[in-house]
Amino acid sequence: MSTVPVIAIDGPSGSGKGTVAARVADQLGFGLLDSGALYRVLGIAAVKNGVDLENHGRLAELAQQLEIEFGKSGPGSVWLDGQDVSLQIRTDTGSELASRVGAIPAAREALHARQQAFRSEPGLVADGRDMGSVIFPDSCLKIFLTASPEERAQRRYKQLIGKGIDAILPALLRDLKERDLRDSQRPISPLKPAEDAVVLDTNDLSIDEVVEQVMDLARARLAG
Ligand code: C5P
Query: Per-residue pLDDT tens for 18-29?
Result: 999 999 999 999
* CA 35 – ligand 1 centroid, Å: 7
Whether the model pTM is above 0.75: yes
pLDDT tier for residue 182 given thresholds of 50, 70 and 90 = confident
On the 0-12 / 13-18 / 19+ scale of CB atoms within 10 A, 65 is exposed
Q: Which residues line ligand 1 (CB under 6 A)?
A: 13, 35-36, 39-40, 95, 98-99, 102, 128-130, 179, 183
Q: What's the whole-number average pLDDT of the chain?
A: 93
Supply the pLDDT for residue 2.
Answer: 81
Rounded distance, CA 71 to CA 79, Å? 8
Q: Mapping DSSP to helix (H, G, I), strand (E, B) and coil, where does residue 111 land? A: helix
Rounded to 5°, the CA angle 100-105-107 comes to 70
Please provide residue 14's backbone torsions phi and psi, each rounded to the nearest 5 degrees: 85, 5
pLDDT (tens digit per residue) in 59-102: 999 999 999 999 899 888 999 999 999 999 988 899 889 989 99
Supply the pLDDT for residue 29.
Answer: 97
**pLDDT > 70: what percent of the chain?**
100
CATH numbers and ranges of domains, the chain: 6-223 (3.40.50.300)
Rounded distance, CA 9 to CA 85, Å? 24
20, 34, 35: which to mutate for ligand 1, most atoms within 8 A of CB?
A: 35
Pairing, β 83-84 against β 78-80: antiparallel
Supply the pLDDT for residue 184.
Answer: 86
Summarize the confidence of residues 101-108 as an average pLDDT.
Answer: 94
Q: Are 137 and 20 within 8 A, CB to CB?
A: no
Q: Are 222 and 5 within 8 A, CB to CB?
A: yes
